[in-house]
Amino acid sequence: MIKLNPPPKRGSETEWEQYAETTYRYIKGSVATSGDEAAVINAGSTYHGVTELSAPRTLTLPPASDLSDGDEIVIQDESGGAGTYTLTITRAGTDTVNGTNSVTITTNYGRRRLIKRGAGKWFSS
């Protein structure tokens, strides 16, 4: 999730609207999807669904430094194709995922829950 900034001091109406929108997205979370393509996951996303697979695909996590400890991203095979076409979830930069470069989803409708914990570290179940 995104990091919240403090509210504007004597800000304009536009600044307050932007602050309210950012706060709402932080509390609610953000859903994103990608089709049959490689994708980079946005740091503001809390859920990323892959809606179509016709070949193995790679999703790249946002840099762990863009998130706070405990922030989560769920990645889901919505297509039902990961049993045939592996979804690889890879790190950004030198971050690690379970101590390695990547994790995979290899079952149809499979999912991974990734939690940012520590400097440059993602953990997945």
User: Which residue, among 124, 92, 105, has the nearest Cα to 49 in the 3D structure?
Assistant: 105
Per-residue pLDDT tens over the stretch 5-28: 666 777 777 777 777 766 655 555
C-alpha span between 42 and 2 (Å, rounded): 9
Q: Is the pLDDT score of 118 beyond 90?
A: yes
Integer Cα distance of 64 and 124 in angstroms: 13
Residue 94 has pLDDT above 80, yes or no: yes
- Count Cα atoms within 13 angstroms, Cβ side, for 32: 18
pTM over cut 0.85:
no
Closest CA to 120 of 96, 101, 84: 96
Burial 4-36 (b: 16+ CB within 10 A, else e): eeeeeeeeeeeeeeebeeeeeeeeeebeeebee
Digit-coded pLDDT (tens) for 18-76? 777 666 555 556 788 898 899 999 888 889 999 999 999 999 999 999 988 888 999 99
